[in-house]
Amino acid sequence: MNALFQYISTVFKGVGTLLTGMKITGKYVFTPWNNVTQQYPENRDTLKMFDRFRGEVIMTHNENNEHLCTGCGICEINCPNGSIEIISKMELTEEGKKKRAIDQHIYHLGMCTLCNLCIKACPTGAIVMGQNFEHAVWDRSKLTKVLNQPGSKIAQGVKE
Amino acid sequence: MGFNIYDFSGMTHNMHLWFLERMSPTATTIVEWTIIGVSYMLFVALFGLFLVYAERKVCAAFQQRLGPMRVGYWGLLQTIADFIKLLMKELIMPKSADKFLYNLAPFIVMIATFLAMAVLPFAKGLQTLDFDIGIFYVTAVSSVGVIGILIAGWSSNNKYSLIGAMRSGAQILSYELSVSLSLVTIIILAGSMQLSVVVESQRDAWFIFKGHIPALIAFVIFLIAGTAETNRGPFDLAEAESELTAGFHTEYSGIKFAFFFLAEYINMFIVAAMATTVFLGGWMPLHFGSFESFNVVMDFIPPLVWFFMKVLGVIFLIMWFKWTFPRLRVDQILTLEWKYLLPINLINILLMSLVVLTKFHL
């Protein structure tokens, strides 16, 4: 008798779990406005990527052409496949002391796996992930970028 | 010719008389056969293509995608483009295949599909054959298709094809039982196996409402077993892509592959049409006892529309199964049939007999 009850409860449990699954997929099919597909070339003007999307590494500059990079090279050390090269230079501060600063932050997009380790490692938050995803170029050399803009300098008060 | 969208029997009768006036009875028969054959072939080709498109769209919706969107408006011409591509592809045959059987197999599958379609009542008077053993006939010819699948797997001389065909054989033979028994449940209620009579006796209430719980259980079992019989959904282990490349039709290409593909989708239509005819009232409109005005409005919708609305609803349900449930193992499939569906079905028949004996149904 116990076996019979077990059998019947198996049947009902089985049907119940199947209905749970159908409820979940049914929710998907009846809310088509939640679809994730993007009609890409058509909606190029309105397409907005998700915040979590990693397109490329960029360095943020404020309106005075100032960035936050101190040239410490931690991102270069953390990069697993050597996509980042830091070329630093020595600058004289206002007090007349010598201080290291960034000369060129070279970023090889063609080698980058967008793993996000450099951004996590950056002590000053100078580099972030950009949202641009249209990286196709005719020449491979165009994938090597200098992230700090020409003539830019470090913002006031950024410490290593 | 007297075209009436609510009753086609007058039209077909007038057509018959019109032909008889102009030619001999033999020629009339041949012409009528040709017309029916061509219309069935057109229906299979067009509805098969539509079902492939619908499957891709429904599958996409279940996975929060859009599906084909580029060819034609909302991708409507996508399957036609695919079909043209299939027609132009080379027919490849394995070197050591059994040539005769290899070429024969797609036709057997297709013929079984056409045979089963012959008795379906699309609307009043729109039924090619009206046997008094209609339901029995459908269950009989629908199992002919598995011979084609077995031949295809055997003659391809490919181990994956053979494994797929054998799995399909074991599966269809088992689930044939459940399909038949769930139909027997309704035959008890209807008192007839003739499909036109079955539809006609659902005029006041569909069998799924008339037979209370036993009919509902029989409907669910029929849907499960029917899905298994078409090698679809969670029961598609005959063509389990991850294990057997494509199962029994691995070695087929071009139009022969298209035959298998089309037959699979039309078989799904046949299962849905049988579920509609036997459980959901066929082409009968939805009637609620004494709501006169509601019934009149429902009567206004033509039977063909009713039939296809119900069929597409059942097809959507079958697709829902396919895109929700994971594929079963071979032993799980056989356990489900022999340990669960079959005993439940037998008890269900007993229950239905009690309901009919005590005249408990509506």
How far apart CA B248 and CA B47 sit, in angstroms, is: 24
> Would strands A66-67 and A127-130 be described as parallel, antiparallel, or unpaired?
unpaired
Same structural domain, A12 and A64:
no
- The pLDDT tens digits along chain A (160 residues) read 888 888 889 888 988 998 998 898 888 888 888 888 888 888 888 888 888 888 888 888 888 888 888 888 888 899 998 899 988 888 777 777 788 888 888 999 888 999 989 999 988 888 889 888 888 899 988 889 888 888 887 877 777 6
Residue B214 confidence (pLDDT): 85
The DSSP H or E segment spanning B258 is: helix B254-278
B61 vs A contacts (CB less than 8 Å)? 28-29, 32, 35
Tell me the C-alpha to C-alpha distance, in Å, between residue B261 and each of A70, A83, B28, B316: 64, 49, 34, 18
β-partners of residue B99 are none
Same structural domain, A74 and A114:
yes
Tell me the C-alpha to C-alpha distance, in Å, between residue A30 and each of A27, A73, A138, B65: 5, 51, 44, 12
Of the residues B64, B71, B325, the best mutation for testing chain A's interface (the one with the most A CB atoms within 10 Å of its CB) is: B64
Residue A29 lies in a domain: yes
Residue B2 confidence (pLDDT): 55
Three-state SS string over A59-119 comes to: ECCCCCCEECCCCCCHHHHHCCCCCEEEEEEEEECCCCCEEEEEEEEEEECCCCCCCCHHH
Single out the residue of A92, A89, A118 nearest to residue A102, CA to CA: A89
Distance from CA of B64 to the nearest CA of A (A): 4
Same structural domain, A73 and A128:
yes
Q: Do A25 and B323 touch (CB under 8 A)?
A: yes
| Token pair belonging to B180 | 């038949």
Residue A44 lies in a domain: no
Same structural domain, A70 and A18:
no
Residue A30 lies in a domain: yes
- Quickly list DSSP for A16-75: HHHHHHHHHHHHHHT-GGG-----TTTTTTT----TT---EEEE---TTSEE------HH
β-partners of residue A106 are A85, A146
- The pLDDT tens digits along chain B (362 residues) read 456 777 777 777 888 888 888 888 888 888 888 988 898 889 888 888 899 999 998 888 888 888 888 888 888 888 889 888 888 888 888 888 888 888 888 889 888 888 888 888 888 777 888 888 888 898 888 888 888 888 888 888 888 888 888 888 888 888 888 898 998 988 888 888 888 888 888 877 787 777 778 888 889 899 988 888 888 878 887 776 777 777 778 888 888 888 888 888 898 999 999 999 888 887 877 777 677 777 777 777 788 888 888 999 999 999 898 888 888 888 888 888 888 889 889 999 998 888 888 877 66
Residue A16 lies in a domain: yes
How far apart CA A70 and CA A99 sit, in angstroms, is: 10
Read off the pLDDT of residues A8-36 as tens digits, 9 standing for 90 and up: 898 889 889 989 988 988 888 888 888 88
Same structural domain, A62 and A30:
no
Distance from CA of A11 to the nearest CA of B (A): 8
Provide the Cα torsion B302, B306, B311, B313; round to 10°.
140
ipTM value = 0.73
B234 vs A contacts (CB less than 8 Å)? none
Same structural domain, A83 and A14:
no
Of B58, B66, B344, the CB nearest to A35: B66
Of B62, B66, B325, the CB nearest to A29: B62
Neighbours of A51 (CB within 10 A): 7
Same structural domain, A86 and A7:
no
Same structural domain, A139 and A96:
yes
Same structural domain, A128 and A76:
yes
Tally of residues, chain B:
362
Of B64, B321, B340, the CB nearest to A36: B64
B58 vs A contacts (CB less than 8 Å)? 29
Residue A96 lies in a domain: yes
User: Of chain A residues 16-45, which have a CB less than 8 A from chain B?
Assistant: 18, 21-22, 24-26, 28-29, 32, 34-37, 39
Helices and strands (H, E) in chain B, number of each type: 16, 0
A35 vs B contacts (CB less than 8 Å)? 61, 64-66
Same structural domain, A66 and A139:
yes
Q: Do A25 and B65 touch (CB under 8 A)?
A: no
What is the residue range of A7's domain?
Answer: 2-34
β-partners of residue A146 are A106
Residue A160 lies in a domain: no
**Phi, psi for A99 (deg, rounded to 5):** -145, 145
Could you tell me which residues come within 8 angstroms of residue B73 by beta carbon, excluding any fewer than 6 positions away?
A: none
pTM of the model: 0.82
Same structural domain, A8 and A79:
no
Domain total of chain A: 2
Residue B24 confidence (pLDDT): 85
Single out the residue of B289, B123, B139, B313 nearest to residue B206, CA to CA: B289
Tell me the C-alpha to C-alpha distance, in Å, between residue B281 and each of B126, B186, B284, B311, B353: 15, 12, 5, 11, 20
How far apart CA A99 and CA A147 sit, in angstroms, is: 20
Residue B1 confidence (pLDDT): 47
A10: region left, alpha or beta (phi > 0 left; psi from -120 to 50 alpha): alpha
Question: Using an 8 Å Cβ cutoff, are A21 and B325 in contact?
Answer: yes
Tell me the C-alpha to C-alpha distance, in Å, between residue B240 and each of A103, B92, B167, B256: 58, 22, 10, 19
Residue A41 lies in a domain: no
Same structural domain, A61 and A30:
no
How far apart CA B116 and CA B108 sit, in angstroms, is: 12
Is A11 within 8 Å of chain B by CB? yes
CATH of the domain at A87: 3.30.70.3270
Residue A67 lies in a domain: yes
Question: Using an 8 Å Cβ cutoff, are B324 and A25 in contact?
Answer: yes
Single out the residue of B48, B43, B2 nearest to residue B304, CA to CA: B43
